Amino acid sequence: MSALPLSGIKILDLTRVLAGPLSAQMLGDLGAEVIKVERPGTGDDARAFGPPYLVDPDGRENNNNSFYLCANRNKKSVTVNIAKPEGQAIIRELAKSCDIFMENYKVGDLKRYGLDYEQIRTINPGIIYCSVTGFGQTGPYAPRAGYDAIFQAMGGLMSVTGHMDGEPGAGPMKVGPSIVDYMTGMNTSIAILAALYHRKVNRGEGQHLDVCLLDTVIASLSHYAQIYLVSGKMPPRRGTWGNGGMPAGVFRCADGELMLVVGNDGQFARTCQVLGSPELATNPKFLENNDRVVHGKEIMAIFAGLFLKNKVAYWLEELEKAGVPCGPVNDFAQVFADPHVRSRGMEIKVDHPFEHALSLIRNPITFSETPVKDYRAPPRLGENTKEVLAAIGYDDAKMEGLKKQGII
C-alpha cells in the first residue's frame, strides 16, 4: 500500500468549533500532519459546548466532550496564547515550515497579532492560508460573527424546510445537525486540495482562500434556489415529500414509518402492484410523473391509506423485490446496528486515555490504494505542546518559562 494521499503535508490549524476543525480533521485523516493551536486553560470553544463528556480515570468529567471529539481526531494539540507577543512568535515560527495555515477568526482579528495572510506569507511565500468565516472576507456583513443556525436562516435553508403550509406546526424549521458547518468543512477541504495542486504546478505559488458559511448554504440549495432564479417563485416547504419523483415521502405503516421515493413511471406501476392497487398506474391523473406532481396531494393521500394495511418490514421487503427505492426511518441505534453500515465500518474504535475503545465515525472516503486505516484519538488539551515546540528549537527551560507566563 502507498502512503496516505497527504503524507508530508503540514497544517497549522487555528480553527475552532466545527467547520474549520472538520476540514482539518479530514485532511489529517488523509495523512497530513495537523497541529491544532488552542488557548491555554480553556482550549477550543467546542470543548465547552455541553455534555456528554468523557470521564477521566477518577470519574471526573473533563473538556473532552462529544462536540469536540467529532471534529478533532488525527491532530496534535498545542496550547499557545496568541494575544501575547511570545505566543505570536511561536505561531510565526511554526508557520515557516507549514504548507497550510487555517483560521476562523473574525475578519481582521489576526492582523492585530501579525498573523494575517499578508504577514505570514512574508515568512512563507508558498503558504496556503485558508480563512473560514461566517460571512466571508468582503461585503457589508464581513465583520459579523455567526453560527450554523444563523446561516440556515439567513441563507434560505429554513424557508424551504419544515411542515407544509396548512399542516400543524408549519413554518420555517432548522435542520437537526449543524449541516452548514459540515458542508463548509467539505468546501474548505476542496479549496485547500485545489490550492495544493495549483501550488505544485505553478512553481510553489501560495494564496489566500476565503470560505464562508453563508456562501456555502446558498450554494447547497442547488435546484431549490435554481427554481427561484428561473421562475421568480419560492419553492414551498414540502415536509418529508421528495423533490423530484412522485409520490415520495414518509408513509406511516401498521407499526412505524418508511421513506419511499418513486422516481419514474415504471417504479410507480410496480409500487401500485405491491400495494394491491394496480389500477392506479393507468389512472389518467397519475399516468406520468408530471401528472402525479400536479395531483400530488391526492396520490399521497391514497398511498397513505394503503401503507397502513401492513407492517414496515413487509412493505420494505416487497418494495425491494419490485426494485422501488425505499428505506426505514432509523434512529442512531438502528443506523449503527444496520448490517450494511456495519459492513462499511462506519463506526470505528480508537484508544483514548479516558476510554480504551472510544467510538468515532470513520472518514467516509474509501481509497483502493491509499486506504485510511489509522485513526488517532482527538488529543487532550495541550497534549503535544512539548513535542511540537521542541521540534522548532524550544528547550525545556524555555518552555517552562513560557508556561509560567501563561504563553503556553
Enzyme catalytic residues? 181
- How far apart are the C-alpha atoms of 159 and 64, rounded to whole Å? 35
Element (H, E) at 92: helix 85-95
How, if at all, do strands 355-361 and 347-352 pair? antiparallel
Please give the backbone phi and psi of residue 347, each rounded to the nearest 5 degrees, phi first: -100, 125
d(C-alpha 37, C-alpha 15), whole Å: 8
- Could you tell me the three cell numbers for 257? 414509518
CA distance 56 to 348: 21
Helical residues (DSSP H) of 124-212, grouped into ranges = 148-154, 179-201
Report in angstroms the alpha-carbon separations of 34 from 13, 88, 181, 297. 7, 18, 19, 52
CB 45 within 8 A of CB 71: no
Q: How far, in Å, CA of 5 to CA of 285, rounded?
A: 54
Residue position matching grid coordinates 465583520: 143
Instruction: Report helix, strand or coil for 204.
Output: coil
Indicate the DSSP class of residue 136.
Answer: -
Q: How far apart are CA 387 and CA 363, in angstroms?
A: 26
